[in-house]
Amino acid sequence: MYICVCNAITERQVRASVDGGATTLSDLQFELGVATCCGCCAATAAEYLPGGRCSSVCDVRSIAVPVNPPATMVESVAPAANSSFPIPLVATA
């Protein structure tokens, strides 16, 4: 099926572009030329993007998690009264 009649872009080409990493309409416009002439196909092309109605790609979202979070520095002037650190090791036989 043709998605963009002006530029003869098919559904197969749009799906291949999305499978190849296109995530926005701008990506499809740059790679294929979709919606660069009259623009009537923009909404239809966007449905093939991740999260769209015709998407074959999962909606992947990145979660920013620090790999090595910085250690918090706690200044200690004197040990706490009930502190038992370091804990003594006791070996039993």
Instruction: Identify the CATH number of the domain in which residue 36 sits.
Output: 1.10.10.1100
Please indicate, yes or no, if residue 33 is contained in any of the structural domains: yes
Q: What is the pLDDT of residue 58?
A: 54
Inter-residue contact 44 to 3 (CB < 8 Å): yes
Q: How many domains does the chain have?
A: 1
Please indicate, yes or no, if residue 85 is contained in any of the structural domains: no
| Mean pLDDT (whole number) for 78-86 | 58
Please indicate, yes or no, if residue 64 is contained in any of the structural domains: no
pTM here is 0.58
pLDDT over threshold 60, residue 31 = yes
Q: What is the span of the domain harbouring residue 22?
A: 2-48
Please indicate, yes or no, if residue 14 is contained in any of the structural domains: yes
Which of the four pLDDT bands, split at 50, 70 and 90, describes residue 52?
confident
Q: What is the pLDDT of residue 53?
A: 84
Inter-residue contact 19 to 57 (CB < 8 Å): yes
| Mean pLDDT (whole number) for 69-84 | 57
Please indicate, yes or no, if residue 76 is contained in any of the structural domains: no
Please indicate, yes or no, if residue 69 is contained in any of the structural domains: no
Residues 50, 59: Cα–Cα separation, whole Å: 5
Q: What is the pLDDT of residue 37?
A: 92
Residue type, 58: C
